[in-house]
Amino acid sequence: MKKDLLTLRDITRDELEQIFELAAKLKRERNTSDFKPLAGKSIGLIFAKSSTRTRVSFEVGVSELGGNPLYLDQSKMQVGRGETVADTANVLSRYLHGIVIRTFSHAGVEELARVATIPVINALTDDFHPCQLLADMLTIKEYSGKVDGSIGIAFYGDGRSNMANSLILAAKLTGMQLAIASPERPNLELAGGASNVRWEKDPEAAAKDVDYFYTDVWVSMGCEEDRERRMQIFRPYQINQKIFSLGKSNAKFLHCLPAHRGEEVSADVMDSKASIVFDEAENRLHVQKAVMALLMGK
């Protein structure tokens, strides 16, 4: 049976370890590997929102696995002119061997995956960004040697965003101690009662025992109309040297990128030695290759 990756709820802890193991191998052997599980396969990459990392890492990833990546601008597809998601899913299933999609509605992606007979990978919706979290967790594993309850991580900013939601699911999956520093209550229900996820209104309190500080833009794609209010309410939640110094002495800085220096993160933290954001961005490629090989390479 085909398997999708729409949120981190779709993978078990064992499968996460399998993804880490394959991603690490593909990373080590990138220049010498003859592993081509997507040979003869075409993967559609549907984008309704802007992207740098996701688009490039998936296109390169499909090619490196021997497959044919097809970039599809959703605004130029007939789904933008009233063709149903179900009809689109049926048609694409006749041509392609997998779909990677970045769009607005998470429910729309769920419907696409329900109807499609080929695997679907969520490359970001308004609600979730699982591929980003897989890369983040691989990066944490590289730096800390493990991803479990011994890791303290704090997310600052929009606690109701796709990144915050995905971090909650990552904490639920792995046991990482997650604090969400945000003025508005995050969707804690996603944690399913897990005691390792907490909401902190006080940005200084959230920094206690933190190994990894994490933030994201204050205005996510699709939220532009709310820009003014967001710039006001998230201002106290900037990750800067003062906040950073309250974490553990060897704490690291993570950001899914793109970053806005002077908004969610100060330039000195973003560009400091503790910032591992480009290792994190690189890991998108390796981890997504692992996911595609496992879901689409059969």
**Contacted entry of ligand CP, ligand NVA, none for residue 216, CB cut-off 5 to 8 Å set by kind:** ligand NVA
Candidates 53, 102, 230, 286; catalytic one: 102
State the minimum distance, in angstroms, from the CB of residue 153 to ligand CP.
17
Task: Determine, following the binding rule CB under 6 A, whether residue 216 of this chain makes contact with ligand NVA.
Answer: yes
212: β partners: 153, 252
Stretch that binds ligand NVA, among 84-92, 146-154, 155-163, 166-174 (CB under 6 A): 155-163
C-beta of residue 97 within 8 angstroms of C-beta of residue 118: yes
Instruction: List all residues 6 or more positions away from 91 whose beta carbon is below 8 Å from its beta carbon.
Output: none
Task: Determine, following the binding rule CB under 6 A, whether residue 166 of this chain makes contact with ligand NVA.
Answer: no
Stretch that binds ligand CP, among 21-29, 104-112, 228-236, 254-262 (CB under 6 A): 254-262
Distances (CA, A) of 15 to 21, 64, 99, 251: 10, 22, 20, 28
Instruction: List all residues 6 or more positions away from 162 whose beta carbon is below 8 Å from its beta carbon.
Output: 124, 125, 126, 127, 128, 129, 220
With respect to ligand NVA, which residue has the nearer C-beta, 50 or 117?
A: 50
Task: Determine, following the binding rule CB under 6 A, whether residue 19 of this chain makes contact with ligand NVA.
Answer: no
Judge whether 284 counts as a catalytic residue: yes
Query: What whole-number distance in Å separates Cα of residue 68 and Cα of residue 60?
Result: 10
Task: Determine, following the binding rule CB under 6 A, whether residue 7 of this chain makes contact with ligand NVA.
Answer: no
- CA triplet 282, 285, 287: central angle to 5 degrees? 105
Sites of contact with ligand NVA (CB under 6 A):
161-163, 216-217, 220-221, 256
- The residues that are catalytic are 102, 129, 132, 216, 256, 284
Sites of contact with ligand CP (CB under 6 A):
51-54, 124, 132, 256-258
